[in-house]
């Protein structure tokens, strides 16, 4: 079955480079079969949403990728990294979940938005990269890589599953004393390490303390830090 005449969505899927034509054709056949099971004529237009859902079911796309492609956004690569989900808004820019194409390692990618890519913002972003590159502590979010894709500057850090402390308390209420003490101690150890490396975070708050499913704490967003001697 040809994919060229199906829809603009099919064109977007292929243009993204995330799905190969044989895989897309298979999902198209599945979608047509489901329509047939509903008693719809064979020439009934195929809803893009149905095809997108099947691509997600087949693990050809993530839900986030499918939604982006439905809106015609095909740029889902940054250098060797494939964007798989949106995490949130950080101090310097948006943060995405991604995977390295060759290594298969999950990570977080912080992107400096073009609308904020002034010389000062680029300098601050490069400063964050230099600062994070020198940090190696289990209680701080580690930086792995950095790069530039066209006009887009990005920083790659470890992906920390779980949620930040603000959301954790909001969803579960006050934490037991033992758990809260552990989180505070680990965050303090991370901040102490950063200070001994010559850095001050300057934006310590519950939203910048990530808590893993195992209850371990990691301080994030050190890009808002400044040198302690400043």
> Could you tell me which of 58, 80, 83, 87 has the C-alpha nearest to residue 69?
83
- The answer to whether residue 123 is catalytic is no
Neighbours of 212 (CB within 10 A): 12
Backbone angles phi, psi at 141, to 5 degrees: -65, 125
β-bridge mates for residue 74, sequence order: none
Rg (CA), the chain: 22
Catalogue the E-assigned strands of 56-133.
Answer: 77-78, 81-89, 94-100, 106-112
Question: Which structure tokens are listed for 212?
Answer: 């893993």
> Measured on CA atoms in the order 150, 152, 155, 161, is the torsion positive or negative?
negative
Question: Which structure tokens are listed for 123?
Answer: 């300098």
Integer angstrom CA distances of residue 88 from 5, 54, 65, 95, 188: 36, 26, 15, 5, 24
Catalytically annotated residue among 53, 85, 145, 203? 203
- Note whether 218 and 139 are within 8 A (CB): yes
- Note whether 222 and 210 are within 8 A (CB): no
How do beta strands 199-200 and 209-211 pair? unpaired
Q: Which residues are catalytic?
A: 203
């Amino acid at each position: 079955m040809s994919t060229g005449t199906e829809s603009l969505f099919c064109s977007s899927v292929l243009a993204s480079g995330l799905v190969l034509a044989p895989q897309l054709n298979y999902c198209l056949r599945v979608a047509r079969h489901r329509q047939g099971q509903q008693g719809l004529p064979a020439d009934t237009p195929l809803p893009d949403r149905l095809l997108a859902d099947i691509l997600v079911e087949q693990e050809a796309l993530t839900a986030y990728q499918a939604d982006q492609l439905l809106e015609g956004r095909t740029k889902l690569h940054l250098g060797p990294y494939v964007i798989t989900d949106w995490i949130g808004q950080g101090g310097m820019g948006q943060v995405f979940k991604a995977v390295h194409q060759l290594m298969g390692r999950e990570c977080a990618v912080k992107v400096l938005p073009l609308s904020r890519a002034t010389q000062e913002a680029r300098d601050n972003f490069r400063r964050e990269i230099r600062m994070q590159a020198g940090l190696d502590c289990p209680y701080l979010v580690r930086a792995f890589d950095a790069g530039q894709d066209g006009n887009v500057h990005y920083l790659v850090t470890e992906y920390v599953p779980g949620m930040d402390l603000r959301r954790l308390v909001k969803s579960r209420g006050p934490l037991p004393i033992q758990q809260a003490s552990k989180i505070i101690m680990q965050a303090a150890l991370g901040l102490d390490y950063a200070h001994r490396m010559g850095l001050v975070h300057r934006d310590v708050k519950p939203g910048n303390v990530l808590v893993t499913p195992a209850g371990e704490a990691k301080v994030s967003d050190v890009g808002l830090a400044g040198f302690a001697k400043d």
